[in-house]
Amino acid sequence: MSVFTPLERHELEAFVEPYGLGRLLDFQGIAEGSENSNFFVSLEQGEFVLTLVERGSADDLPFFIQLLDVLHAADLPVPYALRTTDGKALRKLAEKPALLQPRLPGKHVQEPNPHHCTEVGKLLARLHLATHDKPLIRRSDRGLDWMLDKGPDVALLLPDEQLPLLRDALAEVAKYKARLLDLPAANLHADLFRDNALFDGPHLTGVIDFYNACSGPMLYDLAIAVNDWCSKADGQLDAHLTQALLAAYASLRPFHAAEAELWPIMLRVACLRFWLSRLIAAQAFAGQEVLIHDPEVFHQRLLARKHVQIALPFAL
């Protein structure tokens, strides 16, 4: 399970006191996370999630807090950092940066249908529309330069038969980098997988885990979401799911011609990003009790994106 920092009850009792939300009733570590330590926390006044931030620079935390405040103000179903009665959002617990957020209702969807994909497409468009006028600036720490930098090291971990695919994908990133980065930008979730969305029946009730959020091309966020929500077991895109997600997104934010042109490339770039990060994590956490996502899934998806049949809905 992925609670990297266990907590004692007395530590948590002292931590929650300054929020003025009542006494601690119960708490429980959450096994599903893979990067941070998360706990469900029951207080007299409601249900919350405590996150101890385990990865990344503490300097980035004000960005995440500010972005979630912006999205919450835009009425998106996102968690946000609660303030203590004297106004503090970012605190420390067990020597780690710590945030208390509302617990959002709903469950993860494993097998999405077109309706779920419609909800995800709309949510992503709303997230982009809420931020594209004035994105809060943060470079992704898993961006194009990171891929070009890590790619050669990761190649050493791969069997020979997978090397041409990796080399081609890296060459494509290098070739199209400037054009991809020039596409219309906003703030991105940059990790909107099924395990970062919550549904209550047909309603999307929460998007969580903004620790990959950054500023960048909106099309990249869409490609990341489509690759996870709309892929079949063999890695190919499911046409119904993909069309539902894209049409819903485009109904709120129509696509630009350059986005339609670069769509197949962006889908491959988004596969490469998670193929690399999963290979790196699988090596770094081998043998440890940490949730490791299978890199092979993104190897298959990248192979399957060689020929992309589903175009972006774009009217000339």
Ligand X SMILES: N[C@@H](CCOP(=O)(O)O)C(=O)O
Instruction: Tell me how far apart the alpha carbons of residues 286 and 282 are, in angstroms, rounded to a whole number.
Output: 6
Binding mask 117-156 for ligand ADP (x = CB under 6 A): ----------------------------------------
8 A C-beta contact, residue 241 and residue 228:
no
Q: Does the protein bind ligand ADP through residue 277 (CB under 6 A)?
A: no
Instruction: Tell me how far apart the alpha carbons of residues 298 and 131 are, in angstroms, rounded to a whole number.
Output: 29
Count of beta carbons in the 10 Å neighbourhood of residue 152: 11
| Cβ-Cβ contacts under 8 Å for 311 (sequence gap 6 or more) | 260, 263
Q: Does the protein bind ligand X through residue 150 (CB under 6 A)?
A: no
8 A C-beta contact, residue 151 and residue 276:
yes
- Give, as ranges, the residues between 44 and 63 that touch ligand ADP (CB under 6 A): 49
- Nearest alpha carbon to residue 123 among 210, 44, 35, 182: 210
Cross-strand bridge partners of residue 215? 187
> Quick one: which segment of 27-35, 80-88, 226-234, 236-244 binds ligand ADP (CB under 6 A)?
27-35
Q: Specify the DSSP element, H or E, that contains 91.
A: strand 91-93
The entry of ligand X, ligand ADP, none that residue 243 binds, CB within 5 to 8 Å by partner kind: none
The nearest distance, CB 281 to ligand X, in angstroms, is 6
- Give, as ranges, the residues between 34 and 73 that touch ligand X (CB under 6 A): 35
- Nearest alpha carbon to residue 220 among 181, 176, 168, 276: 181
Instruction: Tell me how far apart the alpha carbons of residues 70 and 198 are, in angstroms, rounded to a whole number.
Output: 20
Of the candidate residues 225, 277, 300, 305, the single one contacting ligand X (CB under 6 A):
277
The entry of ligand ADP, ligand X, none that residue 274 binds, CB within 5 to 8 Å by partner kind: ligand X
- Give, as ranges, the residues between 206 and 225 that touch ligand ADP (CB under 6 A): 206, 208-209, 211
Of the candidate residues 142, 189, 301, 305, the single one contacting ligand X (CB under 6 A):
142
The nearest distance, CB 86 to ligand ADP, in angstroms, is 23
Count of beta carbons in the 10 Å neighbourhood of residue 283: 13
| Cβ-Cβ contacts under 8 Å for 61 (sequence gap 6 or more) | 53, 90, 97, 99
Q: Does the protein bind ligand X through residue 278 (CB under 6 A)?
A: yes
8 A C-beta contact, residue 130 and residue 71:
yes
Binding mask 61-100 for ligand ADP (x = CB under 6 A): ------------------x---------------------
Q: Does the protein bind ligand X through residue 300 (CB under 6 A)?
A: no
Q: Does the protein bind ligand ADP through residue 104 (CB under 6 A)?
A: yes
* Helices and strands in the chain: count of H runs, count of E runs: 9, 9
Q: Does the protein bind ligand X through residue 138 (CB under 6 A)?
A: no
The entry of ligand X, ligand ADP, none that residue 151 binds, CB within 5 to 8 Å by partner kind: none
The entry of ligand X, ligand ADP, none that residue 103 binds, CB within 5 to 8 Å by partner kind: ligand ADP
Of the candidate residues 43, 101, 235, 279, the single one contacting ligand ADP (CB under 6 A):
101
Of the candidate residues 193, 258, 285, 314, the single one contacting ligand X (CB under 6 A):
193
Q: Does the protein bind ligand ADP through residue 35 (CB under 6 A)?
A: yes
